[in-house]
């Protein structure tokens, strides 16, 4: 049986949907999810998915959540760094104790020890915990989400400036949905060739080029302005983000500025069977003006 943790989240839910779509047989007895609030997963239960209560903040719930599971897709959680690190360690220990045969960990492209990104440390610690656990595992390192572009650029279209602390760094982007498709493909594969997969877009682009593409498609002026990280963090907090989240975002863009998300690979195609959508295609999907007629 395959289990997806965090299946009420935006990313976890997409993984489950792709597992259902890709499964060659009905998922009853073959697919389960671990969620903090089982009532919110009623729609999955109606499709034959087994709903289990599992809360990384309550380790006692994880023994039952992971019981009898062969393959676990372990998605990351939100929150301040110490909290996330503790949660992942507890989940990995519970998977080991429950006899899970293989863990697929949803990681990040940048996990370097010298990375400025706060989330790099979170994922590095989880990868290390998996290595120390003795569990068979596959690490799936995601690039940044393309479908965050509307959230980034939407407000910027009002004044025509996309202000980010990304410097001249370039980044490859893939949508959550396509990355979830790769997770499902990996978990269903009879065997995998690699221990670590880097899931990236086909090409890497700077935010100046991205802003230009958005402007052409959306028909509104938009240019990129590189700003100081402290100014970005302050603006995000003023907009209502918690301090930890604003700081984490700022440090993530600093990692972009340092070129840590610039590399590309063919790992996505190796898992899914075709490359991810191009940046141009995704920008057309997100920013083409909708007809009001």
Give tens-digit pLDDT for 81-121.
Answer: 999 999 999 999 999 999 999 999 999 999 999 999 999 99
Q: 197 is written with which tokens?
A: 């997969």
pLDDT score recorded for residue 109: 96
Q: Compute the distance between CA of residue 270 and CA of residue 186 in angstroms, rounded to an integer.
A: 10
Tens-digit pLDDT profile for residues 165-197:
999 999 999 999 999 999 999 999 999 999 999
Sequence-distant contacts of 48-56: CB under 8 A, at least 24 apart: 49/16, 49/20, 50/1, 52/3, 54/5, 56/5, 56/87, 56/88, 56/90, 56/91
- Inter-axis angle of helices 176-188 and 10-22, nearest 10: 50
Q: ∠ CA(119), CA(16), CA(248), 5° rounding?
A: 15
pLDDT score recorded for residue 293: 53
Average pLDDT over residues 202-209: 96
Give the closest residue to 94 by CA, choosing from 34, 153, 47: 34
Give the closest residue to 40 by CA, choosing from 16, 20, 21, 18: 16
- Average pLDDT of the residues of the chain: 94
By the 8 A CB rule, do 255 and 120 touch? yes
Reply yes or no on whether the pLDDT at 162 is more than 90. Answer: yes
Q: SS3 sequence, 43-73?
A: HHHCCCCEEEECECCEHHHHHHHHCCCCEEE
Q: Is the whole-model pTM more than 0.85? A: yes
Question: Where does residue 154 fall: left (phi above 0), alpha (psi -120 to 50 degrees), or beta otherwise?
Answer: alpha
What are the sequence ranges of the domains in the chain?
2-143+175-200+263-277
Q: Is the dihedral of CA 111, 113, 114, 119 positive or negative?
A: positive
Tens-digit pLDDT profile for residues 265-293:
999 999 999 999 999 999 999 999 886 55
Q: Compute the distance between CA of residue 277 and CA of residue 209 in angstroms, rounded to an integer.
A: 17
Give the closest residue to 92 by CA, choosing from 54, 123, 130: 130
Looking at domain 2-143+175-200+263-277, what is its CATH homologous superfamily? NAD(P)-binding Rossmann-like Domain (3.40.50.720)
pLDDT score recorded for residue 141: 97
Tens-digit pLDDT profile for residues 238-253:
989 999 999 999 999 9
Reply yes or no on whether the pLDDT at 31 is more than 90. Answer: yes
Tens-digit pLDDT profile for residues 134-154:
999 999 999 999 999 999 988
Q: 274 is written with which tokens?
A: 């075709």
DSSP-H helix ranges across 219-265: 229-238, 243-257
DSSP-H helix ranges across the chain: 10-22, 42-45, 62-66, 81-98, 118-133, 149-159, 176-188, 207-218, 229-238, 243-257, 267-272, 279-287
pLDDT score recorded for residue 68: 96
Q: 165 is written with which tokens?
A: 């602390």
Q: Compute the distance between CA of residue 80 and CA of residue 102 in angstroms, rounded to an integer.
A: 27
| CA distances in angstroms from 208 to 70, 162, 220, 282, listed in the order given | 45, 9, 15, 16
pLDDT score recorded for residue 77: 86
Tens-digit pLDDT profile for residues 213-231:
999 999 999 999 999 999 9
Residue 122 or 157, more confident: 122
């Amino acid at each position: 049986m395959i289990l997806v943790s965090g299946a009420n989240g935006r990313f976890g839910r997409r993984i489950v949907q792709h597992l259902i779509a890709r499964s060659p047989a009905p998922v009853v007895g073959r697919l389960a999810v671990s969620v903090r609030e089982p009532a919110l997963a009623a729609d999955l239960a109606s499709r034959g998915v087994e709903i289990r209560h599992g809360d990384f903040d309550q380790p006692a719930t994880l023994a039952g959540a992971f019981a009898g599971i062969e393959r676990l897709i372990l998605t990351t959680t939100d929150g301040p760094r110490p909290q996330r690190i503790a949660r992942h360690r507890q989940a990995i220990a519970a998977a080991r104790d429950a006899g899970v045969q293989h863990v697929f960990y949803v990681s990040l492209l940048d996990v370097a020890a010298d990375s400025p990104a706060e989330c790099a440390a979170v994922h590095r610690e989880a990868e290390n915990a998996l290595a120390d656990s003795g569990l068979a595992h596959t690490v799936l390192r995601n690039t940044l989400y393309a479908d965050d572009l509307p959230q980034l650029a939407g407000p910027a279209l009002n004044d025509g400036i996309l202000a980010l602390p990304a410097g001249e760094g370039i980044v490859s982007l893939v949508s959550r949905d396509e990355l979830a498709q790769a997770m499902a493909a990996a978990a269903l594969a009879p065997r995998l060739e690699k221990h670590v997969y880097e899931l990236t877009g086909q090409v890497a682009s700077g935010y100046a080029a991205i802003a230009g593409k958005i402007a052409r498609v959306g028909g509104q002026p938009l240019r990129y302005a590189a700003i100081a990280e402290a100014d970005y963090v302050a603006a995000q907090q003023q907009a209502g983000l918690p301090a930890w989240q604003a700081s984490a975002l700022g440090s993530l863009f600093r990692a972009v500025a340092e070129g840590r998300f610039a590399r590309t690979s063919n790992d996505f195609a190796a898992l899914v069977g075709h490359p991810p959508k191009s940046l141009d295609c995704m920008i057309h999907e997100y920013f083409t003006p909708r007809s009001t007629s």
